[in-house]
Amino acid sequence: MQPSPAAVEVRKDETTRLYEALIDDQVVGTLAYETAGGRATLTHSYVDPDQRHRGIASALGRVSGCDQSAGFALVRWPDPVSRCA
């Protein structure tokens, strides 16, 4: 049985500038970013091929897009209220 998107935990590691997606405490995806001039840029994403189609990339995008501390406040989502709530 595949886990639902709710089973994906996302944590931010400011040292490595990565958002990490975890399922059962295993890193299954990453989203890299850089910051400059008060703005953040997403530079690379990766999801383990065996874990694809489980909502991992969506969870990484949702968390990073809602993280105003990283400088992603200018990201425009179709429905920012429901995605960041």
Give strand pairing partners of 19. 12, 31
* Res 75: pLDDT: 41
Confidence of residue 73 (pLDDT cuts 50, 70, 90): very low
pLDDT score of 55 more than 70: yes
Question: Per-residue b/e over 44-81, b at no fewer than 16 CB within 10 Å?
Answer: ebbbeeebeebbbbebbbbbbbbbeebbbeebeeeeee
Q: What is the mean pLDDT of the chain?
A: 78
Find the mean pLDDT for residues 28-40.
87
pLDDT score of 24 more than 70: yes
* C-alpha to C-alpha distance for 81 and 65, rounded to whole angstroms: 11
**Region for 17 from its dihedrals, namely left if φ exceeds 0, alpha if ψ lies in -120 to 50, beta otherwise:** left
pLDDT score of 21 more than 80: yes
pLDDT score of 18 more than 50: yes
Confidence of residue 46 (pLDDT cuts 50, 70, 90): very high
